[in-house]
Amino acid sequence: METLATALLGFFAAGYFVLGGADIGTGMLAPYLGRSDRERRLVIASFAPFFLGNEVWLVATAGLLIGCFPELEGELLSGQFAVFVPLLTGWIVRDTGLWLRGRAGGRGWRLACDTAVTGGSWTVALAWGWLLAGLFGGSLHEPASGPVAVITALAVAVLFALHGLGFAVLRLTGDPYARARVLIGRAARPWQSFALTAALMAALPLVAGLGLPLGESAGSSVGTLVPALLVVTPLLVAAQAWMWRTFRARVTRPSYL
């Protein structure tokens, strides 16, 4: 059961990094990809139907952590308190910008929301880098510090941005598409870049998880939780697949956000 619980945790965490990472990365690059208000709205439309469905992978990861590994969850979150506060702040700011951008008029309002989306996305990516730097270095109870931590955080943030770029090439049209394509380069096929960054993104939480004492810290609740979660997981994946299939076409016009 502990192994299955660990596998589920890895599955949801990897799902978040691959899917959520794509819309976070695209958000990081929004000012580059979209130069005008309307173009930026198109960039947002490229991931608008997905971002809520993407971030719930992280919500589920956190739920699994507190349900199956409660003691570890408390140690990790309180130990990395200084990392999680900016992570959550960036997440809230970014989502607020996304949700509310289209709900009021005025250039100033939309510019503020775009800033929130880009700034929030960078904050989230850098905070993940900082957290991963700690986990890679085996420091569970202390936020990572020093030059290695800074370099890791920056490298992770760049990976997020590249992943978002690959996503943008697959989703956008028009000038924003052309700008993304220039950076990816003509040599590679668009999906190749995305597949590569997706594999790297999925590896991040899995490698970080290797350093966590997951096996010995599983709670007594796994016996009840894991079977129930295993039953519903295929249904969740099916619902997500339906969502991706529904909105698979490239975007040519702004959407609700």
Partner 1 sequence: MNPETLDLARLQFALTAGGHFLFVALTLGLATVVACLQTAATFSSKPLYARMVRYWGQLYVINYAVGIVTGLVMEFQFGLSWSGLTHHAGDVFGSSLAMETVIAFFVESTFLGLWIFGWHRFSKRVHLALIWGVTLTAYASAYWILVANGFLNNPVGHREENGRLVLDNTVEVFTNPSALLAFGHVLGGALITAGFFLAGVSAYHLFKRTPEWEFFSKSLRIGVFLSLPALFVTATFGGLQFVGMQPMKEAVFSAKNAEIAKLQAEMVERFGPGDYVPSEALTRAAGILMLLAFALMMYLCVAGAVLAAFRKVVFRFRLWHVVLMAAVPLPYLAMISGWVFREAGRQPWVVYGLLKTEDAVSKVSPGQMRLSLIVFTSLFALLAALNFWLIVRHARRGPVETDLGLDEREADDPADALPAARY
Nearest residue (CB) to partner 1, 107 versus 253: 253
State in angstroms the smallest separation of the CB of 203 from partner 1. Answer: 23
The string of DSSP codes covering 139-205 is -SSS---SHHHHHHHHHHHHHHHHHHHHHHHHH--HHHHHHHHHHH-SSS-HHHHHHHHHHHHHHHH
Binding to partner 1 (CB under 8 A) within 35-94 occurs at 38-39, 42, 48-50, 52-53, 55-56, 59-60, 62-68, 70-71, 73-78, 81-82, 84-85, 88-89, 91-93
> Judged by CB under 8 A, does residue 107 bind partner 1?
no
Among 1, 31, 32, 100, binds partner 1 (CB under 8 A): 100
161 binds partner 1 (CB under 8 A): no
Instruction: State which residue, 158 or 243, has the beta carbon closest to partner 1.
Output: 243
Q: Do residues 23 and 33 make contact, with C-beta atoms less than 8 angstroms apart?
A: no
Is 246 near partner 1 (CB under 8 A)?
yes
Contacts of partner 1 in 196-235 (CB under 8 A): 219-221, 224-225, 228-229, 232-233, 235
How many whole angstroms separate alpha carbon 82 and alpha carbon 141? 11
User: Does residue number 24 form part of the binding site for partner 1 (CB under 8 A)?
Assistant: no
173 binds partner 1 (CB under 8 A): yes
Identify the residue among 146, 174, 215, 227 touching partner 1 (CB under 8 A).
174
Nearest residue (CB) to partner 1, 187 versus 256: 256
102 counts as binding partner 1 under rule CB under 8 A: yes
238, with CB counted inside 10 A (0-12, 13-18, 19+), is: exposed
For the stretch 228-236, contacts whose Cβ atoms lie closer than 8 Å and that sit 24 or more positions apart, written own/partner, are: 229/8, 229/64, 230/4, 230/8, 233/8, 233/11, 236/60
Smaller CB separation from partner 1, 31 or 53: 53
Distances, alpha carbon 233 to alpha carbons 7, 236, 238, 239, in Å: 12, 5, 9, 10
